[in-house]
Amino acid sequence: MSIDTEPFEVFLSEARDIVLIGHFNPDGDAVGSVTAAWHYLRSRGKHPHILLPSPYPESMSFLEPNEQKILICEQNLAEARRLVARADLLICLDLNRLARTEYLERDILETPARKVLIDHHIAAELDRFDLAFSTIDVSSTCELLYQILLAMPDIDGDPARIPLPCAESLYVGMMTDTNNFSNSVFPGTFDMAARLIARGVDKDDLQEKVLSCYSVARTRLMGHMVKDKMVILPRHKAAYMLLSNKEKEQYQFVPGDSEGFVNLPLAIADVEISALFTENAAGEYVRVSLRSKSRINVNRLAVRFFNGGGHRNASGGRLYLPLEEVPAYFEKALDAYPDEEKFS
Ligand SMILES: [Mn+2]
Cα(16)–Cα(44) distance, integer angstroms: 12
Q: How confident is the model at residue 2 (pLDDT cuts 50, 70, 90)?
A: confident
Q: How far is the CA of 288 from the centre of ligand 1 (A)?
A: 16
Q: How far is the CA of 21 from the centre of ligand 1 (A)?
A: 13
DSSP-derived 3-state class of residue 309: strand
Q: Specify the long-range contacts of residues 3-11, CB closer than 8 Å, at least 24 apart.
A: 3/133, 3/147, 3/148, 3/151, 4/151, 5/148, 5/151, 5/152, 5/153, 7/131, 8/116, 8/131, 8/133, 8/148, 8/152, 9/152, 9/153, 11/89, 11/114, 11/116, 11/130, 11/131
**Cβ contacts of residue 213 below 8 Å, gap of 6+?**
58, 59
pLDDT in tens, 170-220: 999 999 999 999 989 999 999 999 999 999 999 999 999 999 999 999 999
pLDDT in tens, 85-139: 999 999 999 999 999 999 999 999 999 999 999 999 999 999 999 999 999 999 9
Q: What is the pTM of this model?
A: 0.94
Q: How far is the CA of 20 from the centre of ligand 1 (A)?
A: 15
Delineate the domains of the chain, giving CATH numbers in brackets. Answer: 6-211 (3.90.1640.10), 216-342 (3.10.310.30)
Q: How far is the CA of 235 from the centre of ligand 1 (A)?
A: 31
Q: How confident is the model at residue 151 (pLDDT cuts 50, 70, 90)?
A: very high
Other C-beta atoms lying within 10 Å of the C-beta of residue 150: 19
pLDDT in tens, 306-326: 999 999 999 999 999 999 999
DSSP-derived 3-state class of residue 240: strand
Cα(92)–Cα(258) distance, integer angstroms: 25
Report, as an integer, the average pLDDT of 281-299: 95
Q: How far is the CA of 93 from the centre of ligand 1 (A)?
A: 9
* Residues in a beta bridge with 115: 90
Report, as an integer, the average pLDDT of 154-183: 97
Q: How far is the CA of 174 from the centre of ligand 1 (A)?
A: 8
Q: How far is the CA of 322 from the centre of ligand 1 (A)?
A: 28
Q: How far is the CA of 233 from the centre of ligand 1 (A)?
A: 29
Instruction: Return the minimum-mean-pLDDT range out of 1-10, 151-160, 191-200, 244-253.
Output: 1-10
Residue 1 has pLDDT above 90, yes or no: no
